[in-house]
């Protein structure tokens, strides 16, 4: 038995494709066989499996489990829920050696995929390419694994509530929060969580529906936060929280309806953590605002700029012992009193806790942030064979000039006007650009510099393309 994957589905951080076109049950079975073989060779034997609310998820789950068990792995089925619930099952159970969540994340309804954890670490990059090679060669061991069902949601919600430990819950009795699950997989866990939280909680779209009838569940797109903003305004809530389709990315708005972007949320979390644990390393990706890195330093922390990508950030946290990290995309990782993975429900609880400990409302915390002018993330198509080479050319030109640049992930150039970034996406044939300044004129000059560098490499920004 051998299997060939469609060339587009084995990505940098996960496996993802279009159901019936580039991804199907045979792929799920092959993933199971390869993952189980690798785990067995590494001395593991048990895998937790969960799935999101997409229409295709149960079929893929069935095939994945067939693959895992036919290569000798035992399976713990935790059922439908957010990706972080699967991460919790893997992190909290000593006998579980790995985890696979079937999820299309924030992609359209006809997509699905797999996010994986291997013996407590992210499974990505070369690991995923290895699965492809093993499938092409039929390099799988044979065996017979067993399957058990485990109800974990109650235990998971209990663990989320521990994010409020040490806080006077009576002091939170007047708190009013809105939550938007976007018909994603976090809905049922959110209902159980909100019922146990102090204060008043208003919930939107908690019914799981893989067709996403109300709005697309991607909280980094401001248009998807309109329902939440309307709820906050109508009910005069303190703030609102939104999730993506599988509950590992958070979005938020304050009491005035202002969006609190990923790096701004990290400013709040960092200030809270550093009041209790000074000198800690706080990691953010290269797309984050300078205001965040400045704020971390001001609060006594060590800011560290790192590569974009949740698997890359998680790995860097382990390497540096960082207790907190985050990305512009809304992935936030807590490793101080949590497990170091990205969990938007836990991040929502920690936002309540941070405001309480800092003695300020979320609206006040957002209002105190410096007013920076940012471009949205601009993404434009560049041929796969050209995208990394173009970034190397730009980096070389910048290095030969007297500009101040960081090349951790792409090229981030700092000038008196602010900074601009160009990097190649690891998952698509696109370049990503971003710029930030304190003035409109400064932002304009930064964009001119981006365009100049692109032109020198025979490229242009053109129209921005979606995720």
Cβ-proximal residues to 243 (8 Å cutoff; 6+ apart), any chain? 82, 180, 181, 182, 184, 186, 190, 217, 219, 249, 250, 251, 344, 345
C-alpha distance from residue 3 to each of 38, 109, 135, 307 (Å): 16, 25, 5, 32
Same domain? For 343 and 441 the reply is: no
* Helical segments of 236-309, H only: 262-276, 290-298
Q: How many CB atoms lie under 10 A from the CB of residue 108?
A: 14
Same domain, yes or no: 288 and 361: yes
Tell me, yes or no, whether 330 and 220 share the same domain.
yes
Distance CA 173, CA 293 (A): 34
Check residue 388 and give its pLDDT.
93
60 within a domain of the structure (yes/no): yes
Beta bridge partners of 259: 253
For residue 65, being part of any structural domain is answered with yes
Confidence grade of residue 1 (pLDDT, cut at 50, 70, 90): confident
Tell whether 461 is covered by a domain. no
Q: What is the pLDDT of residues 17-35, one digit of tens each?
A: 999 999 999 999 999 999 9
Task: Using alpha carbons, list the distances in angstroms from residue 171 to 160, 238, 352, 364.
Answer: 19, 14, 11, 18
d(CA 87, CA 384): 32
Alpha helices for 71-164 (secondary structure H): 83-92, 126-137, 153-161
Same domain, yes or no, for 263 and 388?
A: no
Q: Which of the four pLDDT bands, split at 50, 70 and 90, describes residue 43?
A: very high
Short-list 125, 121, 141, 136, CA closest to 35 = 141
Which of these, 279, 284, 334, lies nearest to 302 by C-alpha position? 279
Q: What is the pLDDT of residues 128-187, one digit of tens each?
A: 999 999 999 999 999 999 999 999 999 999 999 999 999 999 999 999 999 999 999 999
When mean pLDDT is compared across 106-110, 270-274, 389-393, the lowest value belongs to 106-110
CB neighbour list of residue 452: distance below 8 Å, 6 or more residues apart? none
Sequence-ordered list of residues with C-beta below 8 angstroms from that of 70, at least 6 positions apart, any chain: 32, 33, 36, 142, 143, 144, 145
Same domain, 271 and 139: no
Co-location of 277 and 394 in the same domain: no
465 within some domain: no
Q: Structural domain tally of the chain? A: 3
* 12 band by pLDDT with thresholds 50, 70 and 90: confident
| H or E element, residue 282 | strand 281-285
Is 240 domain-assigned?
yes
- Asked if 184 and 141 sit in the same domain, the reply is no
So what's the pLDDT on residue 278? 85
Residues forming the active site: 105
Mean pLDDT of 53-67: 97
pLDDT of residue 464: 58
Question: Domain span at residue 29?
Answer: 15-151
| pLDDT 10s digits, 448-458 | 999 999 999 99
* Closest by Cα among 410, 383, 384, 408 to 395: 410
* β 147-149/74-80 pair status: parallel
Give residue 466's pLDDT band: very low, low, confident or very high (50, 70, 90).
low
Integer Cα distance of 327 and 336 in angstroms: 17
Confidence of residue 295 (pLDDT cuts 50, 70, 90): very high
The answer to whether residue 166 is domain-embedded is yes
The residue out of 367, 394, 423 marking a domain boundary is 367
- CATH code of the domain in which 259 resides: 3.40.120.10
Confidence of residue 108 (pLDDT cuts 50, 70, 90): confident
Which of 367, 396, 430 corresponds to the end of one domain?
367
356 domain-assigned: yes
Crossing angle of helices 153-161 and 187-194, rounded to 10°: 50
Same domain, 313 and 417: no
Burial 430-465 (b: 16+ CB within 10 A, else e): bbbbbbbbeeeebbebbbebbeebbeebebebeeee
Residue 277, in any domain of the structure = yes
Provide the total of helices (H) and of strands (E) in the chain, helices listed first. Answer: 14, 22
Q: What is the pLDDT of residue 288?
A: 96
Compute CA distances 45 → 28, 50, 73, 344, whole Å: 19, 17, 5, 29
CA 399 to chain centre: 32
CA distance 233 to 226: 11
pLDDT computed for residue 107 by the predictor:
84
Mark which of 91, 124, 151 sits at the end of a domain: 151
What share of the chain has pLDDT > 70, as a percent?
99
Together in a domain, 359 and 403? no
**Residue pair 116/123 in contact by the 8 Å Cβ criterion:** yes
Which pLDDT value is given to residue 465?
Answer: 56
- What value does the CA radius of gyration of the chain take, rounded to a whole number of Å? 22
Same domain as 145, residue 75: yes
**CA–CA distances in Å: residue 93 to residues 81, 90, 97, 123:** 17, 6, 9, 18
Q: Are 78 and 89 in contact (CB under 8 A)?
A: yes
Query: Do 136 and 42 share a structural domain?
Result: yes
384 — pLDDT class (breaks 50, 70, 90): confident
pTM: 0.95
Residue 463 is predicted with a pLDDT of 61
Give yes or no: residues 264 and 238 share one domain.
yes
Q: Where residue 382 sits, what CATH number does that domain have?
A: 3.30.310.50
How much is the pLDDT for 272? 98
């Amino acid at each position: 038995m051998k299997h060939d994957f469609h060339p587009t589905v084995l990505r940098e951080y996960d496996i993802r494709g279009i159901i019936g076109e580039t991804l199907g049950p045979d792929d799920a079975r092959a993933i199971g066989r390869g993952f189980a073989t690798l785990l067995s060779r590494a001395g593991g034997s048990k895998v937790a499996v969960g799935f999101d609310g997409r229409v295709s998820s149960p079929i893929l789950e069935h095939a994945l489990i067939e693959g895992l068990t036919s290569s000798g792995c035992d399976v713990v089925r935790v059922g439908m829920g957010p990706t972080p619930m699967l991460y919790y099952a893997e992190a909290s159970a000593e006998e579980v050696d790995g985890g696979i969540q079937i999820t299309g994340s924030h992609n359209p309804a006809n997509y699905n995929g797999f996010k994986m954890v291997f013996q407590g670490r992210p499974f990505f990059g070369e690991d995923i390419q290895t699965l492809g090679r093993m499938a092409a060669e039929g390099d799988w061991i044979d065996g017979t694994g067993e399957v058990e069902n485990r109800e974990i949601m109650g235990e998971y919600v209990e663990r989320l509530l521990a994010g409020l430990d040490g806080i006077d819950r009576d002091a939170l009795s007047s708190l009013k929060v809105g939550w938007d699950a976007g018909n994603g997989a976090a809905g049922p866990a959110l209902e159980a969580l909100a019922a146990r939280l102090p204060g008043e909680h208003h919930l939107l779209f908690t019914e799981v529906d893989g067709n996403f009838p109300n709005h697309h569940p991607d909280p980094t797109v401001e248009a998807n936060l309109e329902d939440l903003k309307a709820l906050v305004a109508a009910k005069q809530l303190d703030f609102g929280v939104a999730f993506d389709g599988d509950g590992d990315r958070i979005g938020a708005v304050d009491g005035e309806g202002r969006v609190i972007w990923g790096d701004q949320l990290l400013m709040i979390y960092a200030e809270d953590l550093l009041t209790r644990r000074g000198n800690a390393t706080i990691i953010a990706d290269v797309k984050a605002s300078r205001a965040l890195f400045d704020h971390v330093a001001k609060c006594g922390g060590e800011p560290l700029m790192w590569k974009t990508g949740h698997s890359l950030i998680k790995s860097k946290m382990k390497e540096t012992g960082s207790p907190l990290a985050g990305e512009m995309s809304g992935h936030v990782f807590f490793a101080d009193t949590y497990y170091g993975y990205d969990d938007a429900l836990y991040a929502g609880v920690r936002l309540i806790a941070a405001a309480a400990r800092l003695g300020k409302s979320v609206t006040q915390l957002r209002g105190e942030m410096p007013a920076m002018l940012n471009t949205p993330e601009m993404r434009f198509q560049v041929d796969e064979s050209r995208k990394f080479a173009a970034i190397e050319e730009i980096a070389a030109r910048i290095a030969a000039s007297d500009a101040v640049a960081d090349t951790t992930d792409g090229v981030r150039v700092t000038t008196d006007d602010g900074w601009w970034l160009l990097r190649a996406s690891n998952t698509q044939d696109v370049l990503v650009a971003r710029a930030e300044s304190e003035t409109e004129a400064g932002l304009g000059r930064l964009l001119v510099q981006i365009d100049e560098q692109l032109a020198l490499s025979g490229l242009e920004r053109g129209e921005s393309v979606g995720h």
